[in-house]
């Protein structure tokens, strides 16, 4: 479950964060709800900073994605300054993902229970969401809806 203070966001926003972790596949690895996962499934052991490891996933595809929401290191650097974050801890990762959701203008849709449109708005951030052209595996809306409602989210 997301670690952000519940007073900082709604139940639907927490459910969306938890759905993202299911979609990105990070919760399958390790014992910290996916917060310490490097792309490809290896783990890192310090939240002091983004692990900054470039992993070759296949020919012509390498990534520095890490954490529960698979954030690239270059984006972490920008969000760390913008949000005045001390580290790459679970709470910092949650705050970054929420900021990305805000930037996609998905928060009002999440609050209204319009999950399909919220996912579509965020698909340019998370490659595992349907509706982008990154050429990676995309999860079905039905699976994402189940993960969202299992996490307590309400769909209208």
Q: Alpha-carbon distance 56 to 64, whole Å?
A: 9
Q: Coil, strand or helix: which one is 149?
A: helix
Q: Report the catalytic residues.
A: 24
Kind and range of the H or E element at 139? none
Burial of 28 (0-12, 13-18, 19+ CB in 10 A): exposed
Terminal-to-terminal C-alpha distance of the chain: 22
Q: 136 and 128 in contact (C-beta within 8 Å)?
A: yes
> Which residues does residue 62 pair with via DSSP β-bridges, in sequence order?
56
> Which residues does residue 66 pair with via DSSP β-bridges, in sequence order?
38, 71
Burial of 82 (0-12, 13-18, 19+ CB in 10 A): exposed
């Amino acid at each position: 479950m997301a670690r952000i203070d519940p007073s900082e966001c709604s139940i639907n926003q927490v459910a969306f964060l938890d759905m993202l972790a299911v979609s990105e596949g990070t919760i399958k690895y390790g014992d910290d709800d996916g917060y310490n996962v490097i792309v490809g499934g290896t783990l890192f052991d310090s939240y002091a900073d983004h692990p900054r490891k470039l992993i070759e996933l296949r020919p012509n595809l390498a990534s520095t994605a890490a954490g529960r929401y698979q954030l690239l290191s270059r984006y972490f650097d920008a969000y760390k300054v913008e949000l005045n974050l001390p580290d790459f801890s679970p709470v910092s990762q949650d705050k970054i993902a929420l900021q990305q959701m805000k930037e996609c203008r998905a928060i009002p849709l999440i609050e209204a229970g319009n999950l399909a449109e919220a996912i579509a708005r965020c698909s340019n951030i998370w490659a595992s969401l349907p509706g982008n052209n990154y050429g990676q595996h995309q999860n079905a809306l039905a699976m994402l809806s189940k993960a969202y409602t299992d996490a307590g989210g309400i769909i209208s």
